[in-house]
Amino acid sequence: MTSSRMPGLSVQDAAAYWLARHDADPSTAADPAFLDWLAQSEDHAQAWARAQGLWRQATQDIKDDPLADALRASALAARPPVWPRALAAASIAAVVLLGAAGGWRYWSGREQPHGAQVATSVPLPRFVTGVGEQRAVTLTDGTRLDLDSDTRIDVAFDDKARRLILMKGRAYIQVGRDPRRPFAVDAGDQTIVDRGTSFGVRLDPDKVSVMLVEGEVAVGARGGAPDHALQPGQRLVLQAGRPARVERFDPVTALAWREGFVEFSATPLSEAVAEMNRHGGRRMVIAEPRVGAMKISGRFKLGDSERFLRTVAMLLPVRAVRVGDTLEIRETP
């Protein structure tokens, strides 16, 4: 497989390239080009994890090898996003270096001469919740993550910076204090830079939302300067094809999901149903567009679609009909 943004390089060669750069300069871990490559696919993340594991085993054998120094210098000389043939050569040279240290066999999971099996991958720190599941996690720096249903977040900490990569879903983040290492979250094509905060971030297929509870955050496109600075009580909504929107929000309502509830206020039924479906229970579908446009308000328990529909049927002229494994919402005749 070829890395989509590094023409001519396989995923393994690209991982070796980034490995050589990281070994020479650890701040590469925060390089937007590296983070973009890492987030492109699961294959990239796994290749990077394997490269790191192999490098740790090989480093002691080659730390004084002049070839290693030469390869580090070669890798540093090539700067993304331009990928000339010299870069491909530097990447492949890094792979050769690993092979010279006796490590390339590990990429395919083969045995060492003495028969000891080495793990083929070292998983990146990652936290995932399934549909209907929520999870609280405390990271090594004291940062607390509250993860909502159907969420995945990757952790990329090193001795110079702290970074989270939200791949999907929603998280509420209370950042641990560490003045030496800046903290940022990547969500889609946006980066949220922390300045001592508690904030929420949500990533939908076409939208990124950031809400600040306390402290300060700055938000901007990955690799660029921040475009928005939020104050407590403000929410930034960035949606494809629409202007950025900053609005006030009620923290109690917005964070009700942490207690297993959701609150709607004059919300189109189509949006309310989509939110309820994210949290499990029997799946609901809306039969007619005008039903989806009806507005609903109230506090509802997540994951209980049947109770939700019983309440909705008392408030709106609709009814629920079982169709296979779904509940179809229809207008009352």
Residue range 245-258, pLDDT digits in tens: 999 999 999 999 99
Position 110 pLDDT exceeds 70: no
pTM above 0.95, yes or no: no
- Average pLDDT along the chain: 79
CA–CA separation, 241 and 19 (whole Å): 37
Residue range 270-315, pLDDT digits in tens: 999 999 999 999 999 998 999 999 999 999 999 999 999 999 999 9
Residue 114 — very low, low, confident or very high, per pLDDT cuts 50/70/90? very low
For residues 239 and 258, is the Cβ–Cβ distance under 8 A? no
Average pLDDT over residues 80-103: 42
CA–CA separation, 215 and 195 (whole Å): 7
DSSP per residue, 204-221: ETTEEEEEEEES-EEEEE
Residue 79 — very low, low, confident or very high, per pLDDT cuts 50/70/90? very low
**DSSP for residue 179:** T
For residues 101 and 49, is the Cβ–Cβ distance under 8 A? no
CA–CA separation, 87 and 32 (whole Å): 18
* DSSP helix/strand/coil, 37: helix
Percent of the chain with pLDDT over 90: 52
* DSSP helix/strand/coil, 320: strand
Among 128, 134, 135, 149, CA closest to 279: 149
DSSP per residue, 51-68: HHHHHHHHHHHHTT-HHH
